[in-house]
Structure 1
C-alpha cells in the first residue's frame, strides 16, 4: 500500500483509512466484549477501550506496512 492515497485530488496518508477501519473494528470488538460482560472485571473501561483502539490500529498499520 502506498504511503499516500489520492482522494478527490487531495493526498491523504494511508493511515487515515486504516485508522477509520481500526475504529470500526474496535467498536465491533467493544460491543462483543460488553455483551460478554468483560467490563465488569476491567479496572478502567475507558482506558481499556483507548488501549484497544491503539492496539487494533497499530496491528492494521503493521499488517499493511510490513
Structure 2
C-alpha cells in the first residue's frame, strides 16, 4: 500500500517526491539537449519540454511500482 511521506510533521503524497525527482532529471536532460543543439529541430520547445517531463515522471513511477 502507498504511504504518505512524513516531511517535518507534514504528510505529503509520494507523487510529490516522484515529481521532484523527475524535475531534477528533466533539468539535466533538457540542459544537455540544449547544449547539443537539439532544440533547433523541435517545432515547439515548450510543448516538447512538457512532454519530456511527463515521460520522465511516468518512467519514475513505473520504476518504483515495477
Q: If the length of structure 2 is used for normalisation, what is the TM-score?
A: 0.90
Take 2:56 and 2:19, find their aligned partners in 1: how far apart are those partners? 9
**Structure 1 spans left out of the alignment, 5+ residues:** none
Take 2:42 and 2:3, find their aligned partners in 1: how far apart are those partners? 36
4+ runs of 1 displaced by more than 3 Å?
A: none
Take 2:65 and 2:4, find their aligned partners in 1: how far apart are those partners? 12
**Structure 2 spans left out of the alignment, 5+ residues:** none
- 2:28 is matched with 28
Is the partner of 1:43 in helix, strand or coil?
A: coil
Q: If the length of structure 1 is used for normalisation, what is the TM-score?
A: 0.90
Take 2:12 and 2:64, find their aligned partners in 1: how far apart are those partners? 16
Aligned length: 66
